[in-house]
Amino acid sequence: MSDNILEVKNLNINFKTFAGTVQAIRDVSFNLKKGETLAIVGESGSGKSVTTRSIMGLLASNAVIEHGEILFKGQDLLKESAKEMDHHRGNDLSMIFQDPMTSLDPTMTIGKQVAEPLRIHGKISKEKALKRAQEVLELVGIPNAKNRMKDFPHQFSGGQRQRIVIAIAIVNYPEILIADEPTTALDVTVQAQIIDLMRELQEKLETSIIFITHDLGVVAGIADRVAVMYAGKIIEVGTVDEIFYQPKHPYTWGLLSSMPTLDTKGAKLSSIPGTPPDLLDPPKGDAFAPRNPYAMQIDLEAQPPFFKVSDTHYAATWLLHPDAPKVQPPAPIVKRAQEYAHLMQTGAVDTPSEGSQN
């Protein structure tokens, strides 16, 4: 029996627009194991959020799932009714969004907002729901949670509001938690605290996490595996160590090269030249070819298949073909990635303790 709690297979999603059909998600496949954190990384517009919103059944009205499967414990969510998906959301699947102020109702107290999913999905009394809400607020680190249950969102700091959003997402102890760039709007100190909190919650609740981000530096601190997306496709997948220490796709090299480290103060960071392709008319070959300094003629003519690097590491680049020239990542990129990954994974960078305003 598979140990995957979630399997996405050959997912294709289009958006119907006035300008034409946008091929937003193109043959995306990945899996999620129980208790692991999978990070999905890529630039804005790469398809990260659309992919995960399809898991939740929260796509826009002009989205069309052309074909594919989303299997939760072997059950295809795409074949579920609206009522069945309502049951899954909150009970089995939950999502944390990027901006907590757009997720919280400014007119409702925090206690009621955290308890609301329990009332909707759990069918328990108001008193029991509020008691659980207080326990979860304490779990996510809200100081003096009992007395702050009657406070409103504007009375909390940005870091505390994000903790409250996390509390709402986990109050029903979902089996899969999707975090859509949950630290982007926060300063780096609070970012580190939220990452630490999510790691702690995963250990306590044994929740599987899909973590969406454009920042590979964040990935080093939380992920077990990484899927790199570009132009609606996954182009590399591997363990966090494989992606940081042995990246194979030139796009992954570009993402790694743009990461700052403690030694890059005052230095100019690298950037990936050009822009992503127009998915109204996707290119025939490798979508990254126009921005790839190592592109070959075949990159313009055919999409590369996934080449196996190890049992856990695959990359869709023609550079891994046996007949391709041997190209290695530029040395500065590898050095920067290794230094950063080492710092994040060994805890060499101290995280300031949280004060009452975080």
pLDDT tens by residue, 195-242? 888 888 888 888 999 999 988 878 887 899 999 999 999 999 999 989
- Ramachandran class of 181: left when φ > 0, alpha when ψ lies in -120 to 50, beta otherwise: left
Element (H, E) at 23: strand 20-33
pLDDT of residue 316: 98
For residues 113 and 249, membership in a common domain is answered with: no
Neighbouring C-beta atoms of residue 305, cutoff 10 Å: 12
Q: From residue 217, how far is each of 61, 73, 237, 244, 343 by CA, in Å?
A: 34, 31, 16, 10, 10
Which of 175, 198, 214 is a domain's end point? Answer: 214
Asked if 224 contacts 240 with a C-beta cutoff of 8 angstroms, the reply is: yes
For residues 188 and 270, membership in a common domain is answered with: no
Q: From residue 98, how far is each of 101, 115, 185 by CA, in Å?
A: 9, 21, 7
Asked if 94 contacts 172 with a C-beta cutoff of 8 angstroms, the reply is: yes
In a domain, 234, yes or no: no
Contacts 24+ apart (CB under 8 A), 266-272: 270/333, 272/43
> 42 is written with which tokens?
């890529």
pLDDT of residue 300: 95
User: By CB neighbour count within 10 A (0-12 exposed, 13-18 middle, 19+ buried), where does 184 fall?
Assistant: middle
Cα–Cα distance for residue pair 122/115, rounded to 1 Å: 10
Look up tokens 């196996």; give the residue.
Answer: 308
For residues 111 and 203, membership in a common domain is answered with: yes
**Length reported for the chain:** 358
Residues 6+ apart with CB under 8 A from 118: 124, 128, 129, 132, 133, 171, 172
**Over residues 253-259, mean pLDDT:** 84
Asked if 354 contacts 193 with a C-beta cutoff of 8 angstroms, the reply is: yes
For residues 177 and 69, membership in a common domain is answered with: yes
Strand, coil or helix: 329: coil
Q: Residue 255: is its pLDDT beyond 80?
A: yes
Q: Residue 191: is its pLDDT beyond 60?
A: yes
In a domain, 164, yes or no: yes
In a domain, 240, yes or no: no
In a domain, 351, yes or no: no
pLDDT of residue 310: 97
In a domain, 83, yes or no: yes
Q: Residue 100: is its pLDDT beyond 90?
A: no
For residues 32 and 77, membership in a common domain is answered with: yes
Distance in Å from the first CA to the final CA of the chain: 44
Q: What is the mean pLDDT of the chain?
A: 88
Which of 161, 196, 214 is a domain's end point? Answer: 214
pLDDT of residue 356: 38
Domains in the chain, number: 2
For residues 94 and 162, membership in a common domain is answered with: yes
For residues 84 and 28, membership in a common domain is answered with: yes
In a domain, 221, yes or no: no
**Over residues 14-26, mean pLDDT:** 97
Q: Give pLDDT tens digits for 131-183.
A: 999 999 999 999 999 999 999 999 999 889 989 999 999 999 999 999 998 87
The string of DSSP codes covering 62-131 is TEEEEEEEEEETTEEGGGS-HHHHHHHHHHTEEEE-S-HHHHS-TTS-HHHHHHHHIIIII---HHHHHH
Q: 302 is in which domain, residue-wise?
A: 245-275+282-346
Asked if 328 contacts 314 with a C-beta cutoff of 8 angstroms, the reply is: no
pLDDT of residue 233: 97
Residue 112 is part of a domain; what is its CATH number? 3.40.50.300
For residues 194 and 308, membership in a common domain is answered with: no
pTM score, two decimals? 0.90
For residues 265 and 172, membership in a common domain is answered with: no
Q: Write the single-letter amino acid at 32.
A: L
Residue 186 has phi, psi (to 5 degrees) of -110, 155
For residues 166 and 28, membership in a common domain is answered with: yes
Q: Residue 357: is its pLDDT beyond 90?
A: no
For residues 257 and 334, membership in a common domain is answered with: yes
Asked if 202 contacts 36 with a C-beta cutoff of 8 angstroms, the reply is: no
For residues 254 and 210, membership in a common domain is answered with: no
In a domain, 233, yes or no: no
Which of 214, 230, 256 is a domain's end point? Answer: 214
Sheet with strand 314-315: strands edge to edge: 93-96, 176-180, 208-213, 37-41, 225-230, 233-239, 314-315, 307-308
pLDDT of residue 78: 96
Which of 13-22, 108-117, 119-128, 297-306 shows the lowest per-residue confidence on average (mean pLDDT)? 119-128
In a domain, 108, yes or no: yes
pLDDT of residue 338: 62
**Over residues 120-127, mean pLDDT:** 81
Model confidence at 345, pLDDT cuts 50, 70, 90, reads: low
**Over residues 96-108, mean pLDDT:** 84
